[in-house]
Structure 1
Amino acid sequence: MAARIEHLVTSGTFSLDGGTWDVDNNVWIVGDDSEAVVIDAAHDAGAIAEALGGRTLRAIVCTHAHNDHIDAAPELAARTGAPILPHTDDLPLWKQTHPDRSPDGELTDGQILTVAGVDLTVLHTPGHAPGAVCLHAPELTALFSGDILFAGGPGATGRSYSHFPTIVDSIRDRLLTLPGDTVVHTGHGDTTTVAAEAPHLQEWIDRGF
């Protein structure tokens, strides 16, 4: 059975620097009928577990450790036995949400996660958060960008642990070098493509997006 990408939207809140906002998050499931990985276990472990059905969950991958992307991860791990994997540079953010529950492993730049015969390559792309990562799956013509790149621009860099010049470097050097037809599956909102976003890089820089 060929690997496929599945998508669900969960709703909750994002909290940082003393503020809280209502958000809808994209949760991505990559796998086949027997096994899968979850990218960003946001808000609703029950809904994610239901979408998985009886499949073996190989990993809960965290594109970054803002609370809205990891709040359901421990419960999902408890339900499935899957390891939770963020990048080590995001441990300070992780501990803000889960001070008593450590991750089960870590992601590193260039690491390859394989599920259902498909390789997901970890790209360390700091800027929105120090340990932000994207996952590139060339066999699926897919990039899972977390909150680094959206349809219309970079992720936010106006709060703690973020840095606009760094996110621009990450997007320019790690993401816009991918094939133009790569579909960008984002952490919030609609998908886009590398080709659709690449022409606007200088605009973002000039605007300090």
Structure 2
Amino acid sequence: MTYTGAVTPDGAPDVRELPRLTITKVAVDEQMSNNAYLLRCNDTGDQVLIDAAAEPRTLLPLVGDAGLTTVVTTHRHWDHHRALADVVAATGADVVAGEPDADAITEQTGIEVGRRVGDGDTVGVGSCELEVIRITGHTPGSICLLYRDPDGHPHLFTGDNLFPGGVGNTFGDSDAFASLIDDVETKLFDPLPDDTWFYPGHGDDSTLGAERPHLQEWRERGW
């Protein structure tokens, strides 16, 4: 089956098999329809979960007996870490988050963020590597994770920073929007090619090439 990235809560996950990394996307919670992504290194079997958003009954069977080395929380908002405590309790995984959001995540979940990251840091998935890109605006410490596939195009996990059709919500804060759109343009669109496939925190995937023509339109509308 061809990967599309179209998933629904209580529906089947969608699986993308890359030469060195397998990406499994699943949606959780009918109301919020959050995406969670399980990444597995094909060489070592090590696994990393991006956003333990909700429904451990859905996430833990995906993890299975292979275990989990790390859970990355893309930002502090409650809908992206409701299953964090249960997943960590079941797997003993390390917890990673952007430094400015880490304290809020701990306060909300009771789980200590063991590793606080920012621009230039990396998160290992076995022999594969994710580059951390900090994007300020949706929250102070939101992060994206970039996998530069040596056998193909880049893969970018954007949390709530970038979606098909626009950037994340800044709740009417014009300064936050300016920071967000600037970071998205200079840290994502400027350095990365059009065939970069991105995986957002909610909804369908897209590519930077499909969204690039609309950057100025997003700036002008202010959201």
Same fold flag (TM > 0.5): yes
Tell me what 2:220 maps to: 206
TM-superposed CA distance for 1:23, in Å, is 0.6
CA contact (8 A) 1:179 1:194 kept: yes
CA contact (8 A) 1:3 1:116 kept: no
TM-superposed CA distance for 1:93, in Å, is 3.3
TM-superposed CA distance for 1:91, in Å, is 3.2
The whole-number CA distance in structure 2 between the counterparts of 1:143 and 1:27 is 13
Among 167, 170, 191, the residue aligned to 2:180: 167
* Alpha-carbon RMSD: 1.8
Q: Percent identity?
A: 33
AA aligned to 1:173 is T
TM-score normalised to structure 1 length: 0.88
Instruction: Confirm whether residue 106 of structure 1 aligns to residue 119 of structure 2.
Output: no
Tell me what 2:25 maps to: 7
CA contact (8 A) 1:2 1:116 kept: no
Give the count of matched residue pairs: 198
Q: Call closer, same or farther: CA 1:166–1:35 in 2, change over 3 Å.
A: same
Tell me what 1:143 maps to: 156
The whole-number CA distance in structure 2 between the counterparts of 1:95 and 1:54 is 27
AA aligned to 2:40 is G
Q: Gaps (5+ residues) in structure 2?
A: 1-18
Tell me what 2:125 maps to: 115
Q: Gaps (5+ residues) in structure 1?
A: 13-21
TM-superposed CA distance for 1:141, in Å, is 2.2
Q: Call closer, same or farther: CA 1:109–1:190 in 2, change over 3 Å.
A: same
Q: Call closer, same or farther: CA 1:28–1:202 in 2, change over 3 Å.
A: same
Q: Could you list the per-position Cα deviations for residues 80-100 of structure 1 after superposition, in whole angstroms to 9, with x for gaps in the alignment?
A: 0101111120135325522x4
Tell me what 2:193 maps to: 179
The whole-number CA distance in structure 1 between the counterparts of 2:107 and 2:123 is 27
Q: Call closer, same or farther: CA 1:111–1:73 in 2, change over 3 Å.
A: same
CA contact (8 A) 1:63 1:134 kept: yes
TM-superposed CA distance for 1:2, in Å, is 3.0
TM-superposed CA distance for 1:159, in Å, is 6.5
TM-score normalised to structure 2 length: 0.83
AA aligned to 1:26 is N
Alignment of 1:1-209 (within 5 A): 2-11=20-29, 22-32=31-41, 34-95=45-106, 97-98=108-109, 100-139=110-149, 141-158=154-171, 163-177=176-190, 178-209=192-223
The whole-number CA distance in structure 1 between the counterparts of 2:89 and 2:120 is 28
Q: Call closer, same or farther: CA 1:125–1:82 in 2, change over 3 Å.
A: same
TM-superposed CA distance for 1:104, in Å, is 2.0
CA contact (8 A) 1:148 1:171 kept: yes
